Structure 1
Amino acid sequence: MILVFGMILDAIFGEPKWLWDRVPHPAVLTGRLINWCDRSFNKGDQQRLMGTMTIVEICIAAAIVGWVLEQLPGGVVDVIVLGILLAHKSLVTHITRVGDALRLSLGDGKRAVQMVVGRDTKDMSRSQVARAAIESAAENLSDGVIAPIFWFWVAGLPGLLIYKAVNTADSMIGYRTERHAAFGWASARLDDLLNLIPARLTAALIWLVTGRPDPRPILQEAPLHRSPNAGWPEAALAHGLDIALSGPRSYDGTVRDEPFVNAGGEHDLTPDHVDMAVRVLWHCWWGVFALAALWAVVF
Structure 2
Amino acid sequence: MNWAVAAAALLLALAVDVWLGEPRARWHPVVWIGNYLGWIGQRIAPAQAARDPDFKAFVLGALAWSAGAATVCVAAWWLQHALLQLPALLAAVLLGLVLKPLLAWAMLQREVLAVEAALGESLDAGRQRLSWLVSRDVAALTEGQVRESAIESLAENLNDSVVAPIFWFVLFGLPGAALYRFANTADAMWGYRGVRNGRVWEWAGKWAAWADDVLSWLPARITAVLLLAVAGSGRGWALLREARLTPSPNSGWPMAAMALVLDVRLGKPGVYTLNSSGRVPVAADTQQAVRYARNTLLALILAALVALVLIAR
TM-score (norm 2): 0.87
Identify the residue that residue 7 of structure 1 maps to in structure 2: 14
CA contact (8 A) 1:98 1:112 kept: yes
**Distance in 1 between the 2:223 and 2:71 partners?**
28
Question: What do the CA deviations read for 1:224-244 (whole angstroms, capped 9, x no partner)?
Answer: 221100000011000000001
CA contact (8 A) 1:141 1:281 kept: yes
**Distance in 2 between the 1:134 and 1:200 partners?**
17
Give the secondary-structure state (helix, strand or coil) at the position aligned to 1:75: helix
- Asked if 1:29 is matched to 2:25, the reply is no
Following superposition of structure 1 onto structure 2, how do residues 101-116 of structure 1 map, counting pairs within 5 Å? 101-116=118-133
Identify the residue that residue 164 of structure 2 maps to in structure 1: 147
CA contact (8 A) 2:167 2:304 kept: no
- Structure 1, unaligned runs of 5 or more: 249-256
1:38 counterpart (32, 38, 41): 41
More off after superposition, 229-238 vs 208-217: 208-217
CA contact (8 A) 2:170 2:307 kept: no
Identify the residue that residue 252 of structure 1 maps to in structure 2: none
Measure how far apart 1:283 and its partner are.
0.9
1:288 counterpart (300, 304, 308): 300
How many pairs does the alignment contain?
286
CA contact (8 A) 2:77 2:174 kept: yes
- Asked if 1:92 is matched to 2:113, the reply is no
Which AA in structure 1 matches 2:150?
Answer: A
- Percent of aligned pairs with the same amino acid: 34
Following superposition of structure 1 onto structure 2, how do residues 259-298 of structure 1 map, counting pairs within 5 Å? 259-267=272-280, 269-295=281-307
**Distance in 2 between the 1:76 and 1:92 partners?**
24
CA contact (8 A) 2:263 2:278 kept: yes
CA contact (8 A) 2:259 2:266 kept: yes
Identify the residue that residue 123 of structure 1 maps to in structure 2: 140
Which AA in structure 2 matches 1:29?
Answer: W
Question: What do the CA deviations read for 1:142-161 (whole angstroms, capped 9, x no partner)?
Answer: 11100000111111111111
TM-score (norm 1): 0.91
Which AA in structure 1 matches 2:18?
Answer: A
**Distance in 1 between the 2:24 and 2:206 partners?**
31
Following superposition of structure 1 onto structure 2, how do residues 153-192 of structure 1 map, counting pairs within 5 Å? 153-178=170-195, 179-192=200-213
CA contact (8 A) 2:245 2:272 kept: no
Identify the residue that residue 51 of structure 1 maps to in structure 2: 61
More off after superposition, 37-46 vs 96-105: 37-46
- Structure 2, unaligned runs of 5 or more: 1-6
**Distance in 2 between the 1:266 and 1:247 partners?**
15
CA contact (8 A) 1:174 1:180 kept: yes
